[in-house]
């Protein structure tokens, strides 16, 4: 199976100096795989830097569209059965690719997520290692496994972290890739994982595929913390509006969201969810269309998705 390793970049020339050679070494070690840098309209000389220093890698100069759009364009342009998406601040280990491709060979698997470690080799406590979720108070609450002893075997997970995931390109295209509803970023990987489970496909966590992630190094310099918080809160609401199809749960979720404004006023909650609600509301039309599509395509219920992704039977 041939794979295209796609590194998504925006103004991360210095990060590419480390991540591109690591990806090239891994692609060479695993056979004949392509490495592509999908550049989201960088204003530094990222594209020229890749072209000058790593001629084996292909540089795609894309118009500004955000993380999801860059991924979608690069995956559509890939000429392989499988694709791997990496953040520009993710440095892969040389043998990270074969376990991912082995797992993709299993029936009904859509995607496989890597094991994320900090640059010093310790287990990261915030990023998607063996993800699971639970609907609570109007939102899907995401959990990540942080106990090393629980991260030793290949197992199902809710979604693959978008910073390091492999998947079947044809299934990706069938799902429509990352949904632009979640522009500029955050929750698009949760969404595609949830939708894949909803169609009866599986998402796995692969502990043998190790990548190092300097968490937030890209985000921290591109966005202010308050902006990141607001984007994430907005997309959490849109995720529920789009994906929560179970009638009773959905009613409870929207009722909980309606109470947020009152809570914000009376208790002063953080983050200010009323603002996030307004931001989400401005994308209501898009959310309605996305929800209608989910309604048509979904074969598992919300409870079945969460149960199956946690290792239970759907």
- Residues of this chain that interact with other proteins (CB under 8 A) are 198, 241, 245-246, 250-251, 254-255, 257-262, 264-268, 274, 277-278, 280-281, 284, 287-289, 291-293, 295-304
- Residue 305: both structure tokens together: 């998705």
The nearer residue to other proteins, 142 or 256, going by C-beta atoms, is: 256
User: Is-contact 24 54, C-beta < 8 A?
Assistant: yes
Whichever of 185 and 280 has its CB closer to other proteins, that residue is: 280
CB of 131 to other proteins, least distance (A): 20
Nearer to other proteins (CB atom), residue 49 or residue 197: 197
Side-chain half-sphere CA neighbours of 92 within 13 A: 35
Inter-CA distances, 135 with 132, 198, 231, 249, 300, Å: 11, 15, 19, 8, 16
Give residue 134's Cα distance to chain centre.
18
- Closer of 1 and 284 to other proteins (Cβ): 284
Helices and strands, counts by H and E, the chain: 12, 11
Give just the sign of the alpha carbon dihedral 212, 163, 33, 108. positive
Closest distance between other proteins and the C-beta of residue 294, in Å? 8
Report the nearest approach of other proteins to the CB of residue 47 (Å). 40
DSSP string, 57-70: SEEEEE-S-HHHHH
Q: Cβ 146 to other proteins, closest distance in Å?
A: 27
Is the CB of 165 or the CB of 306 nearer to other proteins? 306
Q: Report, in Å, the least distance between residue 262 CB and other proteins.
A: 4
Residue tagged 């496989």 (tokens): 112
Angle in degrees, CA 161, 163, 165, rounded to 5: 60
Beta strands 155-156; 82-87: pairing state: unpaired
State which residue, 64 or 289, has the beta carbon closest to other proteins.
Answer: 289
Cα gap 51→255, rounded to integer Å: 52
Q: Are 18 and 91 in contact (CB under 8 A)?
A: yes
Minimum CB–partner distance for residue 224 and other proteins (Å): 17
Output phi, psi for 155, to 5 deg: -155, 165
Give 217 or 274: the residue with its C-beta nearer to other proteins. Answer: 274
CB of 283: closest distance to other proteins in angstroms? 10
Taking the least distance from each CB to other proteins, the nearer of 39 and 304 is: 304
């Amino acid at each position: 199976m041939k794979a295209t390793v796609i590194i998504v970049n925006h103004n991360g020339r210095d990060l590419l100096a480390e991540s591109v050679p690591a990806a090239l070494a891994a692609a060479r070690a695993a056979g004949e795989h392509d490495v592509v840098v999908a550049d989201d309209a960088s204003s530094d000389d990222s594209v020229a830097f890749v072209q000058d220093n790593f001629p084996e890698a292909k540089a795609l100069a894309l118009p500004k569209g955000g993380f999801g759009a860059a991924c979608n364009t690069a995956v559509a342009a890939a000429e392989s059965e499988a694709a791997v998406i990496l953040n520009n601040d993710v440095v892969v280990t040389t043998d990270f690719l074969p376990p991912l491709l082995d797992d993709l060979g299993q029936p009904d698997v859509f995607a496989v997520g890597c094991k994320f470690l900090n640059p010093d080799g310790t287990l990261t406590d915030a990023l998607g290692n063996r993800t699971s979720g639970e609907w609570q108070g109007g939102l899907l609450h995401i959990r990540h496994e942080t106990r090393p002893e629980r991260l030793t075997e290949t197992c199902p997970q809710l979604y693959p972290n978008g910073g390091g995931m492999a998947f079947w390109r044809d299934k990706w295209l069938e799902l429509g890739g990352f949904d632009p509803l979640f522009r500029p970023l955050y929750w698009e990987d949760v969404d595609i994982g949830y939708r894949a489970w909803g169609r009866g496909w599986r998402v796995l966590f692969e502990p043998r595929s190790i990548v190092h992630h300097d968490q937030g190094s890209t985000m921290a310099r591109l966005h202010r913390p308050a902006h990141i918080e607001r984007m994430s809160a907005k997309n959490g609401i849109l995720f529920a509006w789009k994906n929560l199809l179970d009638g009773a749960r959905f009613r409870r979720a929207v009722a909980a969201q309606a109470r947020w404004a009152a809570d914000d006023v009376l208790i002063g909650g953080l983050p200010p969810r009323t603002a996030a609600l307004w931001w989400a509301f401005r994308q209501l039309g898009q959310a309605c269309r996305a929800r209608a599509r989910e309604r048509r395509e979904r074969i598992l219920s919300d409870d079945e998705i969460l149960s199956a992704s946690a290792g239970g039977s759907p």
